[in-house]
Amino acid sequence: MKLFPKEVYQERRKRLKQLMGKGVLVFMGNEESSINYKDNWYPFRQDSSFLYFFGLDLPGLVAIIDVDQNLEVIFGDDVSTEDTVWFGSVPALSTLAESVGVSSVRPAAAMDTFSKTVSLERVHLLPPYRPENLLKIAEWFRVPVPQVPRLVSESFIRSIVSLRSIKSEAELVELNHAVSLSVELHKTVMRGAREGMYEYELLGKVMGGAAAAGGSLSFPPIITTQGQILHNHVYSRKLAEGGMLLGDFGAEAPSHYAGDITRTIPVDPTFSSQQREVYQLVLDAYQLAVGALKPGMFFKEVHLMACARLTEGLKSMGLMKGDTHEAVAQGAHALFFQCGLGHMMGLDVHDMEDLGEQYVGYTDTLKKSTQFGLKSLRLGRQLEAGFVVTVEPGLYFIPQLMDQWQAAGLHTDFINYGELKHFRDFGGIRVEDAYLITPKGSEVLGPPLEIEIEEVEALRAL
């Protein structure tokens, strides 16, 4: 458990109370998650908002803030004397609570009683994403499970999003640490990948490297020869001559802050000319997007700028045609770039995704588009200094999607379907780094990682 000084948590809770003004705020800590029987557990992961406001990285806790009474309580049980035989001794929960500035601790079972003393109108809950917490909420507040979503508090979500979106100096230290670990893992793969290896051998290096540094991974890694499959969590393929390897993974620091980086490398020592052309185009879009990051800029605009740059390049390559602005407006480029340019990053790799994209990435006046491509953009709103965002353009050649679009006669004004045959087996390329929005622009998190074609090839040659 990596903790900030208790004043950090006190200050965060104080600001939250000011934003909320009133009510009883409930923070559901996480439980252990069972794998194949109750006591065989996945690695414990505390809820990120619980970590942000209460810091304690242990299962079975619930915390409340009664704003009206200025009361903060952590509900949970000490390890029993008998359990110390099995698990070793652990500081008393009251001692741990003190370390985050909370003086009131009650047994876990007392939450049931407490919940029934509070009128439902005063209760503020976050959307539960784990079924055991859904069940607990239903029981405590005596609502049927399907009606629990009605208890979710928009003002509570908005207040938390406003605080967690702006990263403090101390958080940036942790984010930089997570990104530094991520850079090391990527270097291992970028150097070590060789023709004839299996993807899972590289997965082993990544998982082992993260654990060996005392951390873990912030999301299921993508380490694939089939970069066009965007959420590919299969690792059974062999690295083949002439192919590429796309690695999209990041470390989670012991403090649970996330890193997230993508690189695409050739299996051969150098890129082929076709790979080089596509890679350079993706990199151009990346650099254009990075250059546009600054407070006040809509991230949706940055996304569209990258889309336009990709479209220009695809036109030069003969795959697209027509007016670039019009093509992007109609979403024709999404045949090759189906997803969004990036997302917030913090204690979650998609920061605060559990709280709802409509609050984290959009606003009352900027709603998410329903257009294919744009509907996968997690972040659209204006950037502010202190945001941490990823920039991750890519080009993905998905035969099923090409065939689907062509059969449906989609965007024939902008797509040269006849030319696509040269790219059916190309795969996909993405590059990604995380950036802090500064008062004047942005700066990359962590140490620099090879990204230019020459740099990547030089690293591969080592």
Nearest to 234 by CA among 206, 270, 198, 260: 198
**Residue 134 near residue 145, CB atoms below 8 Å:** yes
Which residue carries 């239903």 as its tokens?
A: 138
Interacting span for a second copy (CB under 8 A) from 20-28, 160-168, 287-295, 352-360: 352-360
Q: Rounded to the nearest 5°, which phi and psi values hold at 66? A: -95, 105
User: What are the CB-based long-range contacts (under 8 Å, 24+) for 141-150?
Assistant: 141/115, 142/116
Give every CB contact of residue 366 below 8 A, 6+ residues apart in sequence: 298, 300, 380, 381
CB of 218 to a second copy, least distance (A): 8
- From residue 241 to residue 260, the character string flagging contacts with a second copy as x (rule: CB under 8 A) and all else as - is --------------------
By CB under 8 A, residue 225 contacts a second copy: no
CB of 256 to a second copy, least distance (A): 8
Q: Which is nearer to a second copy, 71 or 234 (CB)?
A: 234
d(CA 342, CA 221) in angstroms, rounded, equals 17
- From residue 10 to residue 49, the character string flagging contacts with a second copy as x (rule: CB under 8 A) and all else as - is -----------------------xxxxxxxxxxx-x-xx-
CB of 183 to a second copy, least distance (A): 17
Q: Which is nearer to a second copy, 198 or 298 (CB)?
A: 198
CB of 447 to a second copy, least distance (A): 21
By CB under 8 A, residue 338 contacts a second copy: yes
By CB under 8 A, residue 267 contacts a second copy: no
Sequence-ordered strand ranges (E) for 310-449: 388-391, 394-396, 428-430, 433-437, 442-444
Q: In the 8-state DSSP scheme, what is residue 289?
A: H
Residues 97-136 binding a second copy (CB under 8 A) are 129-132, 134-135
Nearest to 44 by CA among 52, 62, 56: 56
d(CA 47, CA 347) in angstroms, rounded, equals 9
Near a second copy by CB under 8 A: residue from 91, 208, 242, 269: 208
Beta bridge partners of 245: 265
Q: Rounded to the nearest 5°, which phi and psi values hold at 439? A: -55, -30
Residues 55-94 binding a second copy (CB under 8 A) are 81, 84-89
- Cβ atoms within 10 A of the Cβ of 262, count? 21
d(CA 133, CA 454) in angstroms, rounded, equals 50
Q: In the 8-state DSSP scheme, what is residue 309?
A: H
Q: Which is nearer to a second copy, 230 or 282 (CB)?
A: 230
CB of 78 to a second copy, least distance (A): 14
Residues 395-454 binding a second copy (CB under 8 A) are 398, 400-401, 404
Interacting span for a second copy (CB under 8 A) from 52-60, 211-219, 313-321, 426-434: 211-219
Question: What are the structure tokens assigned to 343, written together?
Answer: 């997302």
- From residue 149 to residue 188, the character string flagging contacts with a second copy as x (rule: CB under 8 A) and all else as - is ----------------------------------------
Q: Which is nearer to a second copy, 138 or 172 (CB)?
A: 138
β 123-124/24-28 pair status: parallel
Name the site residues for a second copy (rule: CB under 8 A).
33-43, 45, 47-48, 81, 84-89, 129-132, 134-135, 145, 198, 200-201, 203-214, 219-220, 226, 229-232, 234-236, 338, 347-350, 352-354, 398, 400-401, 404
